[in-house]
Amino acid sequence: MPSHGTACLLATRDISLWHANCHFNDFENLLHNTKRWGKVLGKIILLPKATMQKFSKMTGISVVVANMIGTGVFTSLGFQLLGIQSYFALMMLWLIGGLTALCGALTYAELGANLPRSGGEYNFLGRLYHPCAGFISGWVSATVGFAAPVALAAMTFGAYLSAVFPELPRTSSAVILVVVLTGIHCLSRQASSSFQQVFTALKVILILVFCLTIFIWGTTPQAINLIPSAGDEKLLFSGAFAVSLIYVNYAYTGWNAVTYVTSELDDPQRNLPIVLMVGTVSVMLIYLLLNFTFLSAAPLSLLEGKLEVGVIVADHALGDTAGKTMGAILALLLVSTVSAMTMAGPRVLQVIGEDFTFFKRLSQVNANGIPTTAIIFQSSLAIIFIVSATFESVLVFSSFVLGINTLFSVVGVFILRFKKLNIEGAYRTFGYPAAPLIYLAVTLWTLIYVLVSRPQEGAMGIAIIVAGGIMYLLTIKMDTLNK
């Protein structure tokens, strides 16, 4: 029989308590007053140890790395070159984007350590602002946050694969990938964790091999000057740089992925900050190396406006056969990205289902505790995106909505401290308040430029948020009527 404190902690996730710590007397009163919670507690206490298996620290890092390294870094350079032709400015894009992501990760580490529950922004905003804010965040995650990036990664997979095997249709390849990975992640945590760790390690190794191969055997090295030239300082504050930073920020999206599975992470108080920081810094270094490789191996004019940058670089530097081989390898890398988002995203839908009757079905789990309904729902939305939208519109639209989501979450660290919700001894943001302020400044700058330069995608993003608020009111009304 667990101790009183252990029982409280075990019950936190499954009965959706808002506080990480609870007193046994309060819990006992709740138990007697609510039959449903009593049944849940009984199930939790009697669960065999095997069903309480947690994701390890390495699995957490692999989720962060796999979520981040994906669509953006293999596709966005071509779009950036439409407005920027300076090597210095292009590399600064990836450095600034990486430092911004790191500032966000440092802040999220404090939020996750002090508000330990799965759900990411859904949990943070609901606790720090109002349940409506949390619901809208969850709504964004359900409709755009993970389904759109899954679709983009799968579409890129299809693009790279069809560049190697022209007879394979892009859309069909993308849909098949989503369906196969959905089946794998519906099996068990062990299968999910093992698959994720193996493919993430493979992804990092193959990227390093790709870069090394280009440097050693590439036949057409380009002369790169990373020293700023006249006019570069103005370019860093231009609209073109801000718009390009949208693509870079999207490439770094995913540094917060592990916060969606906090309740399933082993010792989150200690491991969550380590996972976020190690994962984010590792990806920033890989991104700088990979983009330097792209720029050094092919002329800018050849890459400008192109989607499958990796295939073009390999083909130009190594020849047609080697280029196709590297294209197949790069397509394989994206399997890990789709897998990681298929693993993390449905956990947000699961906790929404636990909290709101209208979405109760999303909280359903199989015998292994896997939220299969939520996984299938998210994958279905991703498939709809794949067959109905263009790549660039989905990228800009989803980047804008996700930027707003993380913006308010990072502001939340100031609210966390103002309300004195910090758990004693828990991690506190390194570099506070500079780290969150840097993240907020860069993110707000890019969001404003999206509204100015891409008003249609910005309006669609705002419409999604407004629809989430309306859905919250309808859900609350329905819950009230049911009671």
Arithmetic mean of pLDDT over the chain: 79
Pick the more confident residue, 28 or 342.
342
Q: What is the pLDDT of residue 261?
A: 67
- pLDDT of 42 over the 90 cut: no
Position 251 in a domain? yes
* Alpha-carbon gap, residue 275 to 105, rounded angstroms: 9
Q: Per mean pLDDT, which range of 104-113, 127-136, 150-159, 260-269 is the poorest?
A: 260-269
Q: Which pLDDT belongs to residue 475?
A: 84
Instruction: Indicate whether 23 and 77 sit together in one domain.
Output: no
The answer on 22 and 127 residing in a single domain is no
pLDDT over 90, % of the chain: 18
One domain, residues 38 and 138:
no
- pLDDT tens-digit readout, 179-217: 999 988 887 666 666 776 787 788 788 888 888 888 888
> What's the confidence (pLDDT) of residue 435?
93
Task: Answer yes or no: is 121 within a domain.
Answer: yes
Highest mean pLDDT among 177-181, 215-219, 421-425, 473-477: 177-181
106 plus 239 within the same structural domain: yes
* Token pair listed for 233: 């300082």
Q: How many domains does the chain have?
A: 2
Inter-residue contact 340 to 200 (CB < 8 Å): yes
Q: What is the pLDDT of residue 49?
A: 39
Statement: the pTM of the whole predicted model exceeds 0.75: no
Write down the pLDDT at residue 177: 93
pLDDT at 434: 94
Higher per-residue pLDDT: 37 or 308: 308
Instruction: Give domain status of residue 357, yes or no.
Output: yes
> Which pLDDT score, from 0 to 100, does residue 288 have?
94
Is residue 52 included in any domain, yes or no?
no
Same domain, 130 and 205: yes
Residues 18, 68 within the same domain: no
Residues 37 and 154 in one domain: no
In a domain, 53, yes or no: no
Does residue 181 fall inside a structural domain? yes
Q: Domain range holding 405?
A: 58-482
286 and 230 in a common domain: yes
CATH number of the domain at 297, please: 1.20.1740.10
Q: Please say whether the beta carbons of 318 and 241 come within 8 A.
A: no
Give pLDDT tens digits for 350-374.
877 887 777 888 888 887 778 888 8
**Structure-token pair, residue 374:** 């939520």
pLDDT digits (tens, 9 = 90+) for 445-473: 888 888 888 888 888 889 989 998 998 89
Do both 39 and 125 map to the same domain?
no
Task: Show which of 13, 28, 47 is a domain's final residue.
Answer: 47
pLDDT value of residue 292: 93
- What is the residue whose two structure tokens read 């231009």? 238
**Residue 221 placed within a domain:** yes
Are 278 and 411 contained in the same domain?
A: yes
Please tell me whether residues 32 and 90 are part of one structural domain: no
Could you tell me if 96 and 117 lie in one domain? Answer: yes
